[in-house]
Amino acid sequence: MLHSVFSRQRCLRRFASYNLNDRKILDEYCAQLIRQGYSSGSMQLYVRCVEHLIIWLRKSRMRSLSEIRHCDFTAFQSDHLRRCKCPRPAAKHVISVRAALFHLQECIDVSRGDTSTPRSPRARILEDFIRHLENVSGLAKATCIARKRYAMEFMSHCFGSGPLRWRKVRNEQVISFVTSYGERCSAATAGAAAINLRSFLRFLQMKGIVKPSLIAAVPHIAYWRLANVPQVMNDKQIQQFLSALRKNPISGRRDLSIGLCQIILGLRVSEVAALKLEDIDWRKSVLTINGGKSRRVRTLPIPPVLQASFADYVLEERQKAVCSYLFIRCRPPKGSAVSRELVRGIMRRAYCHVDGADNWTGTHLLRRTAATRIHRQGAKLNEVADILGHMSIDTTLVYTKVDIPALRDVALPWPVGVSR
């Protein structure tokens, strides 16, 4: 496969100087990139990045590609690239190297849980914390990732890059960590930082690492969740949004189906990205959402407009792929499932064509719009909660605030003063 990517004899002689195992891995690597639809320029760039890794392994007198471990990837990216004097800028560019190594790890057997590599105290605490959140608390993956990020930031805030000395952590450090969010972020973000930090400290207290006084020191941020009216799309903005999704000549049908899933059924980004072909029952016109944030399986009816969009996408635009996910990538790596970041990017690009959407960034706006439309059509709050997958009816209460016509019906008349 290397011969199909590189034609110059100079490059082929360079490949011949590598050991047999490395050449075999490079051949498999090129074959994988070809299957995923990468251009010749991108494949050459990624192969040169892998060659950069091979040269670094040689100079460091380390193992070959066939014996590389996960810690070697980390050391190459975090330590070597910072001070590298490689004459080829692209081969040491962090983004290019990261993309190349991502595909390389799929070609070789990399033990991510390498027991022979000693883990740092921070890594051990974070791994134990994530395992506790998943197995004991039963939190969703996205929530665990967010709490891990806050835990990492708190340890950097208290210890920097030095050793973990929990006995020297004071209440003032806990307070300053949360209040720093209040100074530069909204009250909701500061409240989220307090909640996530409190969860991390409770875990450390359960392990006997910190005292309960640190948990009590976490400040409570004043934030009234129902104080403001959440923003939703009106009918004109919905039409502009859907029209913008159709414009892409390569992935317009896919983008439209993704947008309809969020604006009609109120699916989360993670739920949209996780949809599979077998989740659609075409005869009964129902869609099965497996797991989700609440980890409950729910079945939703598919409206005719969404079912027609699904059929149009699957029959006309979706390529044949081994991947069983419903929404797949149209650009390299082709045939793989779309990610949550890709879905968010599609929605943000469509916002640019909507009037009054200058400050729109997230996709939760679509979920609020779907809930509001369902509620205005006569659905009760418990029915809206079932469709959205809410565990508590209190979470759904916020959507009653945006149903202005219904609020007008229950509003008391303005008192008229009695003339004297």
List alpha helices for 207-315, DSSP H.
Answer: 212-216, 235-246, 252-264, 269-273, 304-312
Q: Please state whether the predicted TM-score (pTM) of the whole model is above 0.85.
A: no
Look at residue 113 in the predicted model and tell me its pLDDT.
46
Residue 164 pLDDT greater than 90, yes or no: yes
Confidence of residue 229 (pLDDT cuts 50, 70, 90): low
In terms of DSSP bridges, do strands 280-281 and 286-289 run parallel, antiparallel, or are they unpaired? antiparallel
Residue 418 pLDDT greater than 60, yes or no: no
Asked if 346 contacts 361 with a C-beta cutoff of 8 angstroms, the reply is no
Both tokens of 353, joined, read 């064509």
Lowest mean pLDDT: which of 58-62, 113-117, 171-175, 359-363?
A: 113-117
What single-letter amino acid sits at 394? D
| Alpha-carbon distance values, 326 to 22, 109, 166, 256, 311 (Å) | 36, 28, 47, 13, 11
Mean pLDDT of the chain: 84
The average pLDDT across 55-61 equals 79
Look at residue 7 in the predicted model and tell me its pLDDT.
74
Query: Of the ranges 17-31, 90-104, 276-290, which is most confident?
Result: 276-290
| pLDDT tens digits for range 186-209 | 888 899 999 999 999 999 999 999
Look at residue 355 in the predicted model and tell me its pLDDT.
94
Contacts with 36 (C-beta within 8 Å, 6 or more apart), sequence order: 103, 332, 333, 334, 335, 336
Lowest mean pLDDT: which of 123-127, 147-151, 398-402?
A: 398-402
Look at residue 322 in the predicted model and tell me its pLDDT.
78
Q: Where do we find the tokens 């219904």?
A: 406
Of residues 2 and 76, which shows the higher confidence score? 76
Q: Which residues of 28-60 are buried (b: 16+ CB within 10 A; e: fewer)?
A: ebbebbeebebeeebbbbbbbbbbbbbebbeee
Decide yes or no: CATH 1.10.150 for domain 121-216.
yes
| pLDDT tens digits for range 235-250 | 999 999 999 999 999 9
Confidence of residue 142 (pLDDT cuts 50, 70, 90): confident
Residue 378 pLDDT greater than 80, yes or no: yes
- Residue 8: CA count within 13 A, CB half-sphere: 4
The average pLDDT across 344-361 equals 92
Other C-beta atoms lying within 10 Å of the C-beta of residue 239: 12
Q: Residue 286: exposed, middle, or buried by beta-carbon count in 10 A (0-12, 13-18, 19+)?
A: middle
Q: Where do we find the tokens 């665990």?
A: 144
Residue 294 pLDDT greater than 70, yes or no: no
Most distant pair of Cα atoms in the chain: their distance: 105
Residue 413 pLDDT greater than 70, yes or no: no
Residue 55 pLDDT greater than 60, yes or no: yes
Fold type of domain 235-403: hpI Integrase; Chain A (1.10.443)
The average pLDDT across 87-111 equals 71
Look at residue 35 in the predicted model and tell me its pLDDT.
81
Q: Where are the domains of the chain?
A: 2-107, 121-216, 235-403
Both tokens of 159, joined, read 């210890």
How far is the C-alpha of 407 from the C-alpha of 391, rounded, in Å? Answer: 25
Lowest mean pLDDT: which of 25-39, 44-58, 92-106, 186-200?
A: 92-106
Confidence of residue 110 (pLDDT cuts 50, 70, 90): very low
Lowest mean pLDDT: which of 127-131, 156-160, 164-168, 374-378?
A: 374-378
Asked if 68 contacts 101 with a C-beta cutoff of 8 angstroms, the reply is no
Look at residue 395 in the predicted model and tell me its pLDDT.
75
Torsion of CA 196, 197, 198, 203, to 10 degrees: 90
Look at residue 120 in the predicted model and tell me its pLDDT.
79
Provide, rounded to the nearest whole percent, the portion of the chain with pLDDT above 90.
Answer: 41
Look at residue 91 in the predicted model and tell me its pLDDT.
64
| pLDDT tens digits for range 298-336 | 899 999 999 999 999 999 999 777 789 999 998 888 888
The average pLDDT across 367-383 equals 87
